[in-house]
Amino acid sequence: MPRLVMKFGGTSVADMDRIRNVARHVKREVDAGYDVAVVVSAMAGVTNQLVAWSKEAAPLHDAREYDAVVATGEQVTAGLLAMVLEGMGVNARSWQGWQLPILTDNAHSSARILDVNGAELIKRFDEHKQVAVIAGFQGLHKGTGRVTTLGRGGSDTSAVAIAAAIKAERCDIYTDVDGVYTTDPRVEPKARRLDKIAFEEMLELASLGAKVMQVRSVELGMVQNVRIFVRSSFVKPEDINPRSNSAGTLICDEADIVEQQVVTGIAFSKDEAQISIRRVPDRPGVAAAIFGPLADANINVDMIVQNTSADGATTDLTFTVPSSDYERARITIERAKAAINYERLDGATDVAKVSVIGIGMRSHAGVAAQAFKALSQQKINIRAITTSEIKFSVLIDAAHTDEAVRTLHSLYGLDKN
């Protein structure tokens, strides 16, 4: 029988009524002939409460004990859903991540999955037609025997990893939206839901500000070639055809998309800060003197622009960091001033990054040039630009973010069916 993984986030299991709704979604797929593994998050708000209690217990708490506490939220949800399914006549059993086991490294609170053993799940599918209700977000470090957690959004990663382990037909991610859109509908009401999107495009969207999917889960899906289907858990279970990929977005291999648009979506992030280092000596080793200390401080650097003076003696270097890291980055650079030997340090936190993504850019010239012209016509100044094979990003004043998104969304015809 075909196998299916279904993942439900915190808002989908926020209370008992919603857990019963989830159970009806699961039963629909079981009745359609699927062997089903369900991955659940903690009920909405529960993880935040557990984190708050951990901080109250000890501000500088042991990360191993932190994981022991925050992993319990998913355990509660898994047990409750298994009970409801049993009450509906569906053979079900709850599982913790360490029982499969989902093996991870030892980076507590942000562990990475190393291996998933799906053998016992497959055995129970074959022998008992038993639904597995699995606590997401958690795993086991084999060397220490301790529970680990995968970081925020880790249940998505759990689900994709389990789908790969049991060779599932696909992994359905149920959330509070009905798919992936061309941009944020709250900014552009004409945004459209995409029927399909390639892994690479979704990876760029997720890393550039789209909140629908967690980056690591998309990355894992691409590496393991696990088809991921994003759909809403708030659609009535009886209104969904189990054998149809309607009312959602399929994240799949590029080869599965017959007709590709040049541009697939527009992403944006207002969580950006700009730092400009003026009149830096243009000599070997200067870039290392700047970015080495930032790397040592675990500060992520994104856009980098370098302008060399006419005499070739000095250069101006501009880059962006997350706004939450702005002060740390500024202080780090100031401490390294003697090694860098710059003249002035400027910064700004009122900036935003707007990105245009599409696999079709590989075979079409002038896509970025069209954007630059359209933004100039709207009197939107571009502070910095970065490009890759399937996307380009511009740094602009944050006040113009919404206008820029709507301008580019219309420019590339994303508001048209």
Which bin fits 49, alpha (ψ -120 to 50), beta or left (φ > 0)? alpha
* pLDDT given at position 417: 66
Please check whether residue 417 lies inside any domain of the structure: no
Please check whether residue 261 lies inside any domain of the structure: no
C-alpha–C-alpha distance, residues 314 and 65, integer Å:
51
| Number of CB atoms found within 10 A of residue 78's CB | 27
Strand ranges of the sheet holding 344-357, from the earlier edge strand across to the other edge = 304-308, 314-322, 265-281, 344-357, 391-397, 384-387
Last-in-domain residue among 216, 233, 255: 255
Q: Are residues 239 and 304 in the same domain?
A: no
Check: CB of residue 84 under 8 Å from CB of residue 76.
Answer: no
Please check whether residue 334 lies inside any domain of the structure: yes
pLDDT along the chain (417 residues), means of 10: 94 95 96 96 94 90 92 96 98 94 93 93 93 96 94 91 96 91 93 93 85 87 95 82 76 84 92 93 89 92 83 86 93 93 92 94 88 96 91 95 96 87
The radius of gyration computed from the CA coordinates of the chain, to the nearest angstrom, equals 24
Q: Are residues 298 and 249 in the same domain?
A: no
Q: Are residues 190 and 60 in the same domain?
A: yes
Q: Which of 297, 288, 352, 295 is nearest to 320 (CA)?
A: 352
Q: What is the pLDDT of residues 339-379, one digit of tens each?
A: 999 999 999 999 999 999 999 888 888 899 999 999 999 99
From the number of C-beta atoms within 10 Å of its C-beta (0-12, 13-18, 19+), residue 304 rates as middle
C-alpha–C-alpha distance, residues 222 and 228, integer Å:
10
Amino acid, res. 391: K
Q: Which of 247, 224, 218 is nearest to 166 (CA)?
A: 224
Strand ranges of the sheet holding 92-95, from the earlier edge strand across to the other edge = 92-95, 131-135, 35-40, 3-8, 170-175, 228-232, 248-252, 196-198
Please check whether residue 231 lies inside any domain of the structure: yes
Q: Are residues 225 and 287 in the same domain?
A: no
* pLDDT given at position 29: 95
- Any idea which residue has 């302008």 for tokens? 307
C-alpha–C-alpha distance, residues 397 and 17, integer Å:
44
The DSSP element (H or E) to which 164 belongs, if any, is helix 154-165
Last-in-domain residue among 202, 226, 255: 255
Please check whether residue 381 lies inside any domain of the structure: yes
Q: Are residues 155 and 237 in the same domain?
A: yes
Q: Which of 15, 164, 149 is nearest to 72 (CA)?
A: 149
Return the sign of the alpha-carbon dihedral for residues 254, 258, 261, 265. Answer: negative
Q: What is the pTM of this model?
A: 0.87
Supply the CATH number for residue 320's domain: 3.30.2130.10
Give the pair of three-digit tokens for residue 386.
């970065």
Q: Which of 46, 5, 245, 285 is nearest to 133 (CA)?
A: 5
Q: Are residues 312 and 289 in the same domain?
A: yes
Number of domains in the chain: 2
Please check whether residue 416 lies inside any domain of the structure: no
Q: Are residues 245 and 98 in the same domain?
A: yes
C-alpha–C-alpha distance, residues 73 and 82, integer Å:
15
Q: How many CA atoms lie within 13 A of 350 on its CB side?
A: 3
Q: Are residues 60 and 193 in the same domain?
A: yes
Please check whether residue 260 lies inside any domain of the structure: no
* pLDDT given at position 256: 86
Q: Are residues 61 and 102 in the same domain?
A: yes
What are the residues facing 305 on neighbouring strands? 318
* pLDDT given at position 243: 64
Q: Are residues 26 and 114 in the same domain?
A: yes
Give the pair of three-digit tokens for residue 401.
């973010």
Residues 6+ apart with CB under 8 A from 91: 128, 129, 130, 131
User: What is the domain extent for residue 195?
Assistant: 3-255
Supply the CATH number for residue 167's domain: 3.40.1160.10
Q: How many CA atoms lie within 13 A of 57 on its CB side?
A: 12
* pLDDT given at position 388: 87
Give the pair of three-digit tokens for residue 266.
């527009």
- Any idea which residue has 């994303």 for tokens? 414
Q: Are residues 142 and 270 in the same domain?
A: no
Q: Are residues 186 and 144 in the same domain?
A: yes
* pLDDT given at position 275: 95
Please check whether residue 377 lies inside any domain of the structure: yes
Last-in-domain residue among 255, 281, 313: 255
- Any idea which residue has 């939220």 for tokens? 73
